[in-house]
Chains A and B, each alone.
Chain A
Amino acid sequence: MGDEAAVPGTAPEKVIHTYPLIRHSDMSEEMRVEAVELTVTACEKHSQNNELAARMVKEAMDKKFGPSFHVVVGESYGFEVTYECTNMCYMYFGGNQAICIWKCS
């Protein structure tokens, strides 16, 4: 009984959000959509390998918007970067991954 009572109580807290969530971005609408899509694809494809995911996003972004993009995929890290304006996107995905994409050549 107690367990059952506890389950509905905890249920709303246990909701895990996996949708891509932009924390900070100054990209243009088009670029941002593209970046988010790429990130989703890459992170889903390489869910176990952040390096590959980052590489995939970086290469695709380079191809689409010109070099040089930098991508960081990870679960916990801190950063301080200098980026070219309107080329920065910091987002969360999958509930536990933070992806930082910026351009600086």
Chain B
Amino acid sequence: MSNSFFQHTQTAHCESGVISNLLGHYGLQISEPMAFGIGAGIFFGHLPFVKVNGVPGTTYRIWPGAIFQRVCKRLGVKMEAEKFSTPEKGMQALDKVIAEGVPVGLLSSVYYLPYFPPSYRFHFNAHNLVVYGKEDGQYLVSDPVMETVTTIDPESLAQARFAKGFPAPKGKMYYPVSVPDSVSFEKPIKAGIEQACHYMLKIPVPLFGVKGIRYLAKKVQHYAEKPGDRKATLYLGNVIRMQEEIGTGGAGFRFLYSAFLQEASTVLKNDQLSKLATEFTETGDLWRNFAFAAGRVCKSRSVDSVSYKELSEMLLQCAASEEVFFRKLAQVQL
């Protein structure tokens, strides 16, 4: 049984990409930036106590799954989502659904996906991909961050879906059961923008949003003393990797969000949004400059407090620029 008519489009980020590809399959055309914006994906968080391989976590976007959930809710798409207790049950359920010709979104661990370059295969459990069929015992895969469709053997797929660790995907699979014939993006865009501003400016915890960037800046300033030495460059390296690694789309999603604002300004016929898009592009460029400088520090492996102080100041600039931007965005009459 084959139904290899799934339209694969490569995107920058896995979650917004899967949304765009899956909904597009049902005739609901939504671009990746639009999905990202409506889902209020833009975010910042620095979590010193959530350590991955001993390195504190930094995120430039909202937690996995949130974009999906929000987009479906705001567009009136009904999703069926299931988790499973054993790989056998999970693979059976997958076979059953794809046999009906329904493409399925899957949560999986990057570590067990053989089609990725080995250098990317860390234990990262929140990757999204689409399986749209099975041919000669191999699953047909549309992974949104890959250029073309690919295949995967059942064993690897089962391992990727049932990887342990945090968060454990538990074979999570999801697929639309009802997609509205026509949707208006206007209201969902407004809701998405409002939520993004709230998350960036108003969370009363210093680890998140603009406050989180300042918090990271403070930490970076003292990286030379704490954690010091070799570890400091590893910590810093992780900040860059989260900003740029596959699934982030460059400059920690800032360009992706600008692209959304540009599209939103056309939909809502609102010039202010397109001006703000240009402004936020500049914020993205600040982040890029930061990554450049941080990359140099990592490369030289020098542990001098002067360079860390400079990096810290660059982060404060990013924070200031984001604060100004989100305050303006919150003021726009939509």
Question: Does chain A bind chain B?
Answer: no
Q: Which residues of B contact A (CB under 8 A)?
A: none
Q: Which residues of A contact B (CB under 8 A)?
A: none
